[in-house]
Amino acid sequence: MRLAVLALGANLPFADSPAQTTLQLVMKELQGLESSRVLASSRLWRSAPVMAEGPMFFNAC
């Protein structure tokens, strides 16, 4: 079995959904993949952009 760690982040809306909703949908889609298994996931957290201006980021791992 191969292991992978994914780090996700978004700060812009996608298809009229806020960044937080987009990340939640992505995490749900990853859990539904038949060819893989999600062993653990973090809560969403917010962080400021680094070396750039813009909205706060929502992050997950």
State the pTM of this model. 0.79
Q: What is the pLDDT of residue 1?
A: 79
Instruction: Examine the pLDDT at 56 and tell me if it is beyond 90.
Output: yes
b/e per residue, 3-39, with b = 16+ CB within 10 A?
eeeeebebbeeeeeeebbebbeeebeeeeeeeeeeee
Question: Tokens standing for 58?
Answer: 């929502």
Q: What is the pLDDT of residues 26-47, one digit of tens each?
A: 999 999 999 999 999 999 999 9
Provide mean pLDDT across the span 43-56.
95
- Sequence ranges of the domains in the chain: 8-60
* Overall average pLDDT of the 11-24 stretch: 94
Q: Is 55 exposed, middle or buried (0-12, 13-18, 19+ CB in 10 A)?
A: middle
Distance (Å, whole) CA 55 – CA 51? 13
SS3 15: coil
